[in-house]
Amino acid sequence: MIKDRYDVVIIGAGPAGSVAGRFAAEKGASVLIMERDREAGIPVRCAEGVSVNGIKPFIEFDKKWVAATIDAACLHSPDGEKAFMYNNGKGLVLERRIFDTELCHLAVNAGAELLMKANATGLEYTGGKISGVHFRHQGENKTIKCSLVIGADGVESRVGRWAGMKTALNLDDLDTCVQYTVSGYKGEQNVCHFYFGLDVSPGGYIWIFPKSKGVANIGIGISGHLAEVKGPKEYLDEFMDKEYPEVQTNYIVYGGVPTAWGLEKYIDDNIMLVGDAARQVNPMTGGGIVQAMIAARLAGQVAAAAVEKGDFSYSFLKQYKKDWDVKLGSIQKTMYSMKEKFMRMDDGRFNKLVQICQNIPREEFSLKRLFMESMKGDPKLMAELARAFVVSKINLKKN
């Protein structure tokens, strides 16, 4: 039975919600996590790629949520050339259905409560302050009281809107995505692939992440501002017909990835946003699982401290923003400037970058080396990226 009141109510049981819940509950806060769906991590709107190092601090390694180990990434240029980047087992493809459930278990073990099939519909205000969450559960409208709301409601980010935050994304800060989970895939099981090009995937890329034998996630994300005439599914279908006509699609999901640098305002009296809801995805790669967990730990810790002190004001909660800016927030802005450049790059530039990668011997491959070689191979591009980097630093200082 759920109680009438909690210190903290978290909306959404994705990686952001369950990690925030765990770290808040661990320090003694009473926490309820509510989730609209019947099960965390379902449907899987995700390519499921992460780095081993990224998830290590949050969960003990267990092969039951690992679908594949990745040793190399193959980049495909618009002119059909390939280049390999090696990372020797440092990449993983998850079974997110199991992974997300496992993160929920960890939250529950720390003392958080879970309420599934509960759709938050609004915030309750008392004397102008947030005092609870309205939701629909088992056909009834209900309200639960709390001192702090954490919006971990993913790309939709409606919780923030209810609190007056401007979470609506510009069209060029959203990737619109389609993914097929296929069987009959004959590619290597330890290599993922990325395809670039204006005719292939404008403003984004096509990915292939192999899972178990013969199964793979093949998906596409294109920038929202380039999706008017032709949508992501049309691009992906053309690609599949050309490159992988033999595979069978078992599962189709649609989804959106926020590729903004972050949000101006994601904390206020009695409320914080975390994960996709706070636009904490890496805008360059579209990866958001690890980012969401990192932010959620910070938010959860600040939530617990707020409960201990009985202070839920913006001036107390803003510690979360300070911590995030130190940890990743500043890198986000650099990544965002780079995304802006990459999104507008022509095919010639992509061809050149892949050529540069090709010339680095396998045993000498590192991102630093790639950067050095790129400087030599395409000084103009590198100058632009460097400028983007500097500009982002200046912007950061201003904020």
Partner 1 sequence: MRIITELCDICGTCVSVCPADAIIVEEFQVSIDNARCIECGKCRQVCPARAIEGDVK
Q: Is residue 117 a contact point for partner 1 (CB under 8 A)?
A: yes
* Burial grade of 86 (CB within 10 A; 0-12, 13-18, 19 or more): middle
Q: Is residue 34 a contact point for ligand FAD (CB under 6 A)?
A: yes
Rounded CA-CA distance 282/341 in Å is 15
Q: Is residue 275 a contact point for ligand FAD (CB under 6 A)?
A: yes
* Burial grade of 339 (CB within 10 A; 0-12, 13-18, 19 or more): buried
Start-to-end Cα distance in the chain: 45
Among 169, 221, 193, which residue's Cα sits nearest to residue 342? 221
Q: Which of 7, 26, 35, 95 binds ligand FAD (CB under 6 A)?
A: 35
Contact between 85 and 102 under an 8 Å Cβ cutoff? The reply is no
Q: Is the torsion defined by CA of 7, 272, 27, 12 positive or negative? A: positive
C-alpha distances out from residue 90 to 50, 221, 252, 384, Å: 9, 24, 27, 30
Closer of 263 and 304 to partner 1 (Cβ): 263
289 binds, among ligand FAD, partner 1, none (CB under 5 to 8 A by kind): ligand FAD
Contact between 79 and 39 under an 8 Å Cβ cutoff? The reply is no
Q: Is residue 168 a contact point for partner 1 (CB under 8 A)?
A: yes
Closer of 41 and 197 to ligand FAD (Cβ): 41
Q: Which of 155, 182, 215, 299 binds partner 1 (CB under 8 A)?
A: 155
Stretch that binds ligand FAD, among 122-130, 287-295, 306-314, 317-325 (CB under 6 A): 287-295
Q: Is residue 283 a contact point for partner 1 (CB under 8 A)?
A: no
Instruction: Catalog residues that contact ligand FAD under the rule CB under 6 A.
Output: 11-17, 34-37, 45-50, 119-120, 152-154, 156, 158, 177, 179, 219, 255-257, 275-277, 281, 286-290, 292
Instruction: Catalog residues that contact partner 1 under the rule CB under 8 A.
Output: 36-37, 45, 117, 119, 136, 154-158, 161, 167-171, 174, 176-178, 224, 227-228, 231-233, 253-256, 258
